Amino acid sequence: MIASLAEAVARELGAPTESGAGAVFGAASAPLPSTFDAGAARGGRPPLGVIPPRVRTAFVDVLGPSPAEVLRDLDSVPAVVVPAFLASGYHVYQDVPREVAASEHAAVAVTHAMGPDPALAAITRMRLRAAGWRPGDAVVFAAAGSSDRRARADVRRATGLLADQIGGSVRLAYIATGEPRVPEVVAQARESGARRVFIASYLLAHGLFHERLHACGADGVAEPIGVHPAVVRLIADRYRTAARALTTAGVG
């Protein structure tokens, strides 16, 4: 799925090339990843005379290549690392900086993680609508979870952003790490009088975590965020902002 996202972002930024600033996606490998249709992403070529970036994918855990390996392969080409995570936890604050340092690359900018962001909340609302949610139905915001307090703070903020989008309350729950867990919160919603309960999946792609949500007793489960045009634009904007900063600093 990360590969599909990288391809969509490459189309947004302009056709990949073997020169120009590099855009590197740092990600964790997800269980049972699947590919989403990225065809809806809006393409946009750079102005005449501007060399588009080549977009590379890197992983910070068991899969390869690692960010350090990709950055070394770029030699002295300025690079922007965009962490493809929905919250900033250990991977963003520890793994990515360590990989950048290990690469010894002289010109690297690391952007904020993808989430939380109002654009992601808007996508989640659309996914809920598609799953059958209507105003008045209870919503459980299901995140993978993390032991990192900064990641948990990001998830709480993402929960609030979704509440703003739907104009109602949203209950936070975790799938794998942290309390309360999703089945417990779904049950609590029913006990409080909710006639219908829907789960908002704060996951990037299908996989084991998303499959677990279907066994939590809800009336419906929204699709993961996926490769949506708004996600593509969000990442492309992260890249453009960081690339301009590199140029301003006299590195590009």
The whole-angstrom separation of Cα 223 and Cα 152 is 22
Q: What is the mean pLDDT of residues 200-224?
A: 98
Q: What share of the chain is helix, strand, coil (3-state, %, to 5)?
A: 40, 15, 45
pLDDT exceeds 60 at position 51: no
Domains and CATH numbers, the chain: 2-113+228-248 (3.40.50), 118-221 (3.40.50.1400)
Alpha helices in the chain (DSSP H): 2-13, 67-73, 90, 96-103, 118-131, 149-166, 182-191, 208-213, 229-248
pLDDT exceeds 90 at position 43: no
Q: What is the mean pLDDT of residues 212-232?
A: 97
pLDDT exceeds 50 at position 211: yes
Model confidence pLDDT, tens digit, residues 58-85: 888 777 889 999 999 987 888 999 999 9
Average pLDDT, the chain: 85
Model confidence pLDDT, tens digit, residues 146-205: 999 999 999 999 999 999 999 999 999 999 999 999 999 999 999 999 999 999 999 999
Tell me, what's the pLDDT at 54?
82
